[in-house]
Amino acid sequence: MSTKPAAAPRWRRKSTVVLGTVLLGAAAFGTTTQTWLDVVLPQAAVETPDIAVSGSDAATAVTAFAVVALAAALAASIAGKVARWVIAAVLLIAGVGITAASVSVIADPAQGAAGAVGKAIGVSNSAGADITLTAMPYLAAAAGVLIALAAVWLAVAARTWAVSRRYAAQPATGAAVKEKSTQPPIDEIDSWDRLTKGEDPTNFR
């Protein structure tokens, strides 16, 4: 009596790993669309002293690394055994990059706000400005750490995934090989003559 093989734990399943990693990448990218820094400039510096600096302006690297993480996570669903290791390495780099860029803004908010301040008053010097961090850079840093951990998760879980053979070349059957070998050669003149007569030049029967 045959028994079915035991199902893989949920945490090892390809769908779980891919979906979880995609959500982490999307979360990191989503933070960049929100306000990271609230800047209040001196009243004399500009008519509208309040500036909301988004994550895409404060840390452009986070946006780029988040897109890389999303693409890598999606690619993992169709990748082969060797490619999965490469994807895991890419995810690790993306996660570390997101965390590093986020921590950089947290450590030096003035540098993160420099670009937006420069657009507002013409100089990037934010001296005298009141800069307040929102929760977004902290969330981005946390997402980066989780993406790096997801790289390890992928490397461990992917060892049990089956390799997709959907696009593998199928060997020709004996009958197909024999039929192909018995077809007579055809040149361009013969093909043209058959075509002008309204016949199929590839039909030898």
Q: For each of the domains in the chain, give its residue range(s) and CATH number, in order of start.
A: 10-160 (1.20.140), 171-205 (no CATH)
Of residues 178 and 114, more confidence is placed in 114
Q: State mean pLDDT over 104-117.
A: 87
Model pLDDT, residue 22? 94
Q: pLDDT tier at 169 (50, 70, 90 boundaries)?
A: very low
Name the burial class of residue 25, with classes exposed (0-12), middle (13-18) and buried (19+) by CB atoms within 10 angstroms of its CB: buried
Residue type, 130: D
Helices assigned H by DSSP within the chain: 14-32, 55-58, 60-75, 81-107, 109-121, 136-157, 174-182, 188-196
Model pLDDT, residue 47? 62
Q: Which residue has the tokens 């693409």?
A: 71
Q: How far apart are CA 155 and CA 161, in angstroms?
A: 11
User: What is the model's pTM?
Assistant: 0.70
Q: Which residue has the tokens 């399943």?
A: 13
Q: How far apart are CA 178 and CA 171, in angstroms?
A: 13
Q: What is the pLDDT of residues 32-66, one digit of tens each?
A: 999 999 988 776 655 666 888 899 989 999 999 99
Q: What is the pLDDT of residues 86-107, one digit of tens each?
A: 999 999 999 999 999 999 999 9
